[in-house]
Amino acid sequence: MPVDQPPRVRSGDLLYLNRAASPQFARPITVRVIRALTDRHTYDGWLWIDAYQLGPNGDAVARRELYLMPAGARRPTSPPTALPRRDTRRPVTHGPARVG
């Protein structure tokens, strides 16, 4: 009988990580995988990854190296929804000229 292989993690994968992936994810996060760090020694079924943690709008908010069980990671069916960007520039106001 063949042994089930854990899901393969590849560059570009979008992963939703919660406690099923590792106890460190008590607060679930979504990441985009940069690469699997296969040169590191791990326990059977565990993996180190280099990834960008994504904010609620889908933008990268932090680069992280994470240790997880790929079998516990979920693959979202759709990427995070990008929120419209707010214009944070201040309007130029012209006040009285300074005499110096």
Residue 77 is predicted with a pLDDT of 79
- In this prediction, residues 5-27 reach a mean pLDDT of 91
The DSSP call for residue 45 is T
Return the domain boundaries, the chain.
14-72
Residue 15 is predicted with a pLDDT of 96
User: Other CB atoms closer than 10 Å to residue 14's CB: what's the count?
Assistant: 19
Residue type, 9: V
Q: Is the pLDDT of residue 26 over 50?
A: yes
pLDDT in tens, 27-39: 999 999 999 999 9
Q: Is the pLDDT of residue 1 over 50?
A: no
Q: Report which listed range, 15-24, 68-77, 85-94, is most confident.
A: 15-24
| 74 in Cβ contact with 50 (< 8 Å) | no
Instruction: Report the alpha-carbon distance of residue 45 to residue 87 in Å, rounded.
Output: 45
- In this prediction, residues 13-30 reach a mean pLDDT of 96
Sorted by sequence, the CB contacts under 8 Å of residue 85 that are 6+ apart come out as: none
Instruction: Enumerate the β-bridge partners of residue 9.
Output: none
pLDDT in tens, 44-84: 999 999 999 999 999 999 999 999 999 999 998 776 666 56
Within 13 Å, how many C-alpha atoms sit on residue 20's CB side? 9
